[in-house]
């Protein structure tokens, strides 16, 4: 019995010892590692091994950077596409009295005509030679044979009746006769009033080099200045530059431009422009046509086609012929041919400030029986002016 009791006691002691060992082992595993020893700042830096270089602070910084995960350079990053800035809408100069404001520019080029006539009329004796010189002056200025003969005849009669002539009287006399020749009773307004739900429709025609596309853009500015909304039809599809140029003019004043593919059907573009003008309720549609050479009958026939297609929407209100004033009598040849294809309703004379041949105003009106409605007097955006006979004649004879 005693032996059994002793065995139990020994077993208990052994189990207790084993249990203590297990618990101690677990506690040892759970204890945190001892803190690292503080570096000895007084100790000299470790010498590099043979063949090795000491690591500098720059090397350490480079190594640190290399350890950083950098983004993959080959990854496609989204590219921000900047929208082009919206064009600044310009406010064109008012058209009222514009020709008066440009009169100085006009008079510089026309002084040769006016001053030449006044000098001849101021001679004490107006003999046949003097009157022939007056005729030559008018013919040189492209007034035309018939208008020149009429003017000289009236001047001879009035000077004979007047007798003694002062410079003021001569100036007044010449002004009256020139005004009669130019005409003051013609309707020179560009008809652009919308009617019965359709916009006013204006077709601009002319030979390349006369400034036709530029004139169309400037005319848009004239109309916007007068409070009209405008749609531009770039029907000159044979020159991509013409459509780009017209669109640029339109963007400057907030006018929408309808254009087609390069080399496309001009009549189709014109048709679409009028259609869009009607849909958006525009006041005016301006159609710029290709610069047809008057020697090419096929191209002129195509111009007639543009007119017919446009009139499927509504009748044209204006057909404006653009002529270069510096071409003189050659401009009259162009005018005749265009008049045979389309019914010209008005004339735009460009570059009038660059020629002393202001008589073309009279000659072309006589040739076509339609008035000059607009004149170009420079390269500026607002240098297209409604034609005013009084301001024009005053520029001819000077102050």
Residues within the annotated binding site?
206-213, 288-292, 350-353
In whole angstroms, give the CA distance from residue 141 to residue 148. 10
Determine contact, residues 370/344, Cβ cutoff 8 Å. Answer: yes
Binding site members for GTP? 206-213, 288-292, 350-353
Backbone angles phi, psi at 187, to 5 degrees: -85, 105
Determine contact, residues 322/214, Cβ cutoff 8 Å. Answer: no
**In residues, how long is the chain?**
399
* Partner residues linked to 124 by β-bridges: none
* Selection from 324, 234, 247 nearest residue 286 by Cα: 234
In whole angstroms, give the CA distance from residue 351 to residue 354. 5
Strands 284-288 and 230-234 come out as: parallel
Burial of 84 (0-12, 13-18, 19+ CB in 10 A): exposed
Angle between helices 360-368 and 145-162 (to 10 degrees): 120
In whole angstroms, give the CA distance from residue 204 to residue 306. 11
Q: Which residues contact 302 (CB under 8 A, 6 or more apart)?
A: 266, 267, 292
């Amino acid at each position: 019995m005693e032996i059994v009791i002793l065995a139990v006691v020994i077993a208990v002691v052994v189990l207790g010892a084993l249990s203590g060992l297990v618990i101690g082992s677990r506690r040892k595993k759970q204890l945190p590692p001892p803190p690292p020893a503080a570096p000895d700042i007084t100790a000299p830096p470790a010498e590099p091994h043979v063949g090795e270089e000491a690591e500098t602070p720059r090397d350490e910084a480079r190594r640190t950077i290399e350890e950083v995960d950098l983004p993959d350079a080959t990854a496609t990053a989204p590219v921000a596409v900047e929208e082009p800035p919206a064009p600044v809408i310009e406010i064109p100069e008012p058209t009222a009295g514009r020709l008066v404001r440009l009169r100085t520019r006009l008079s510089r080029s026309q002084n040769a005509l006016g001053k030449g006539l006044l000098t001849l009329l101021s001679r004490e004796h107006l003999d046949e030679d003097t009157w022939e010189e007056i005729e030559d002056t008018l013919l040189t200025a492209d007034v035309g044979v018939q208008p020149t003969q009429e003017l000289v005849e009236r001047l001879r009669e009035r000077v004979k009746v007047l007798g003694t002539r002062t410079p003021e009287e001569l100036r007044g006399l010449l002004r009256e006769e020139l005004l009669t020749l130019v005409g003051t009773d013609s309707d020179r307004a560009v008809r652009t009033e919308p009617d019965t739900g359709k916009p006013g429709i204006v077709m601009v025609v002319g030979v390349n080099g006369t400034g036709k596309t530029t004139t169309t853009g400037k005319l848009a500015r004239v109309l916007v200045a007068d409070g009209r909304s405008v749609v531009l039809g770039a029907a000159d599809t044979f020159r991509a530059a013409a459509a780009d140029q017209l669109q640029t003019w339109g963007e400057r004043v907030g006018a929408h431009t309808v254009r087609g593919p390069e080399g496309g059907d001009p009549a189709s573009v014109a048709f679409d422009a009028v259609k869009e003008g009607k849909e958006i309720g525009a006041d005016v549609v301006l159609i710029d046509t290709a610069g047809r050479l008057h020697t090419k009958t096929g191209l002129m026939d195509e111009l007639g086609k543009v007119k017919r297609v446009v009139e499927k929407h509504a009748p044209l209100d204006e057909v404006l012929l653009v002529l270069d004033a510096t071409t003189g009598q050659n401009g009259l040849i162009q005018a005749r041919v265009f008049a045979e294809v389309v019914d010209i309703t008005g004339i735009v004379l460009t570059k009038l400030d660059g020629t002393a041949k202001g008589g073309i105003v009279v000659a072309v009106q006589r040739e076509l029986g339609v008035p000059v409605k607009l004149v170009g007097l420079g390269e500026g955006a607002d240098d297209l002016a409604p034609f005013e006979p009084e301001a024009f004649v005053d520029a001819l004879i000077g102050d």
